[in-house]
Structure 1
Amino acid sequence: MELKKGKTIVLTMWGTMILFPVLALVFIILRLYCRRWLKKATTGYLDDYVLIFSWVLMVVTSTIGLMLAKHGVGTAIMAGEEVAVEPEVMHALLFWTSNLLLFGINAIAFSKVSWFITLIRLVVNCRQKVALWMLMVFSTTLLLVASTFGYYQCHFLPDGSWSYPEMSDHRCLDNGVAIKISLVTSIYSTVLEFALAAVPAYVVWNLPLKQSTKIGIICATSVAFVSAMMGALRTKAYYDHLFPLGKLPEMYSLGCVIMFAVLEVCTTIIAASIPFFRPLVKKMAKAYDEDELSWP
């Protein structure tokens, strides 16, 4: 049967997974500049290191995603009315997708860890700190287990070939169980994103600061809601990938999952960096005032 290409987001994937990692790197550099050179902070760099590590994992995820795009991921390949995947593509698809899950989920996990550490430093209530620590440990453990679970769901046979579920059921975990665990983890991750985005607003509003300062900090941290939206879109695309309903074919929806996962990590990095730009904003405002005073 003749194969034909349908809807595609390959160009969007290329643009997104090249532009946004570069943009996230710019925000990390500005964050380090504000903390280390403008504020001259001598401690509290753990969240910086974790954020950088998350960025590295995300770059690996983007690279694998772009490799998969060459194999048709992000494009609806149809054979008549049915979704089709060419046999020679299947091996590369299964192998690289498992690696992508390993790096991608860990990138999401460590980006959240960095945000957790920043929030723990922000809150002053002891109970809130303990609650954030417990939630961080639980969430990180869950995501790390999910990434490992996805990687080892199926593995190589002794002769080096890939073990397909239909060829060797005893070498693959039950697909129904895998789908349920993966989807529940994805939904939990998204809900956690929205919860973490709301925490700064609650904490800052109860601090003894000027109202204008509170509003400024809340606006800076509200970018985290964009990351939460990317997580929601990733979960929706993942659902479409796991449960094809005839609207979004499997290869197409897998491309959406990869793209939104990269966007989720990038926007988390951006959201975690913006609150540290206050010294830079003050410096720029001061320079602007001095220039204004020097005018004739």
Structure 2
Amino acid sequence: MKEDNKYIVYISPEKEVNAGLWTLFAGATVMLALRLWVKITRRHGVWWDDYILLATWMVLAANNSLISYEYATGYVPPPGYKWDDRMHILINITSCGTLIGQAWSKSAFAVTLLKLTTRWQQYFLWFCIITMNLYMASKCVVQWGKVCGEKSYNNWYRLDFCLDPKFRDDFKEGGNIYNIIMDFIFAAFPWFLTWNLPMRRREKIGLCLAMSLGVVVASVAAARTAWKDEGNKRDPYYYWRNGLSNVWYSSEVAGTIIVQCVPVLRPFLRDVHQSLTPRRIPSNADPGRRSFTWAVTNPSTGKDGSSTSTINYNKDTTSLISDAASSSNTAGDLRFHNFNFGFGETKIAGGAGNIELRTIQEERDMERRDSEKQWRDGILGKV
């Protein structure tokens, strides 16, 4: 380790950095695992965007491991020493890993949008994907280049060219700004794509917000960029602020993975909520629903094998279920199919021994929700 002329006792952020990095990674891991599980179990299929997200997750895991290794092996040097060549190489590798994670995580969402867009929109998305990744590759090259006039940046492990210090800083800062712009553009796309779908406005807004959570990541990245512009002076908190910066960069990658998994999980969470919500059965004490007409359909084999006989009864609600159950026990292959009560007020559906009462209005609401669910699943199945 090389000596430093300044004898400053630096404060180590190792615990805070590890807590931040691995908490974010755990969240991204859980959400990505749920995304893949939902897609596989619902047979939507795993597509290119899922593979890109999985590759991004692997890069994030490797990058976090190297950063933790850095802090455990001398990232914060003792008074009077500087980083050695090994530490500089590790820092350059993790810097490029962060750039790859940023570009690939955003590219995954762009690939998702390709499935939902028209031809000219797809051209624009491809332009964004290509330019993002080219800028990322260029920044990685610049990261390993030398800096003209800077002795500490003219080491053996750097590429054999030098860049003006101001151009180097501006070029790297431009990449951060371009990533933020891409986040906002991708967050705006779902509003144009889903607003004309035949869905209730509340559902449209919910779907658009779920698919536009990338704006949160963009806001975090913008705050981080503004914070970095303020500089980092050499004081006891110099490496502590550097550690906080590492967490901010990691949050952009992990956050982009997390927000892309939310839209896929919405149908799953909605189904769980519906399965836990009890259905209301009309009360026998309601005088408006004491007397109904119900029909039992008993399939019998005719010449074409499809003839049926129907028996109509007038019963009050108290004896309806017991009569239906006793009829099912004595009628052999007797089955219940969509029984209408009165003037279309109530409907009974199900098989023998499994009867469910609901009003026609509830039935219509269920049909409407099923129709909307098909539209949502049609869109989210592509996400």
Q: Considering the TM-score relative to the shorter chain, is it more than 0.5? A: yes
Distance 1:246 1:164, change over 3 A: closer
1:153 equivalent to 2:145? Answer: yes
Q: Judging by fraction of residues, say which structure has more strand.
A: 2
Unaligned 5+ runs, structure 2:
1-5, 282-353, 355-383
User: Quick check: 189-198 or 171-180, which moved more?
Assistant: 171-180
Q: Please show how residues 1-12 of structure 1 align to structure 2 within 5 Å.
A: 2-6=7-11, 9-12=13-16
Unaligned 5+ runs, structure 1:
80-84, 156-162
Preserved CA contact (<8 Å) 2:100 2:136: yes
Instruction: Please give the alpha-carbon distance, in whole angstroms, between the structure 2 residues aligned to 1:65 and 1:237.
Output: 21
Q: Could you say which residue in structure 1 is the equivalent of 2:268?
A: 280
Distance 1:153 1:253, change over 3 A: farther
Q: Which residue identity does 1:67 align to in structure 2?
A: Y
TM-score of the pair, normalised by structure 2: 0.63
- Alignment identity in percent? 18
User: Quick check: 283-292 or 227-236, which moved more?
Assistant: 283-292
Q: Please show how residues 85-100 of structure 1 align to structure 2 within 5 Å.
A: 86-87=81-82, 89-100=83-94
User: In structure 2, which of residues 195, 199, 203 is the aligned counterpart of residue 209 of structure 1?
Assistant: 199
1:234-271 CA-to-partner distances (Å, cap 9, x unmatched) read 3235434xx44568965334323321111111110011
Q: Which residue identity does 1:131 align to in structure 2?
A: F
The structural deviation recorded for 1:135 is 1.5
Which SS does the other structure have where 1:217 is aligned?
A: helix
Preserved CA contact (<8 Å) 1:165 1:172: no
1:136-188 CA-to-partner distances (Å, cap 9, x unmatched) read 111122112212331x2149xxxxxxx83367899452233322211111121
* C-alpha RMSD of matched pairs (Å): 3.1
Q: Could you say which residue in structure 1 is the equivalent of 2:19?
A: 15
User: In structure 2, which of residues 206, 210, 217 is the aligned counterpart of residue 220 of structure 1?
Assistant: 210
Instruction: Please give the alpha-carbon distance, in whole angstroms, between the structure 2 residues aligned to 1:256 and 1:41.
Output: 39
Work out which structure has the larger RCO, using CA pairs closer than 8 Å and 6 or more positions apart in sequence: 1
Q: Which residue identity does 1:3 align to in structure 2?
A: I
**Total equivalences in the alignment:** 272
Instruction: Please give the alpha-carbon distance, in whole angstroms, between the structure 1 residues aligned to 2:269 and 2:176.
Output: 36
1:239 equivalent to 2:229? Answer: yes
Q: Please show how residues 38-117 of structure 1 align to structure 2 within 5 Å.
A: 38=42, 40-42=43-45, 45-70=47-72, 73=75, 86-87=81-82, 89-117=83-111
Preserved CA contact (<8 Å) 1:200 1:218: yes
Q: Please show how residues 98-137 of structure 1 align to structure 2 within 5 Å.
A: 98-123=92-117, 125-137=118-130
Which SS does the other structure have where 1:122 is aligned?
A: coil
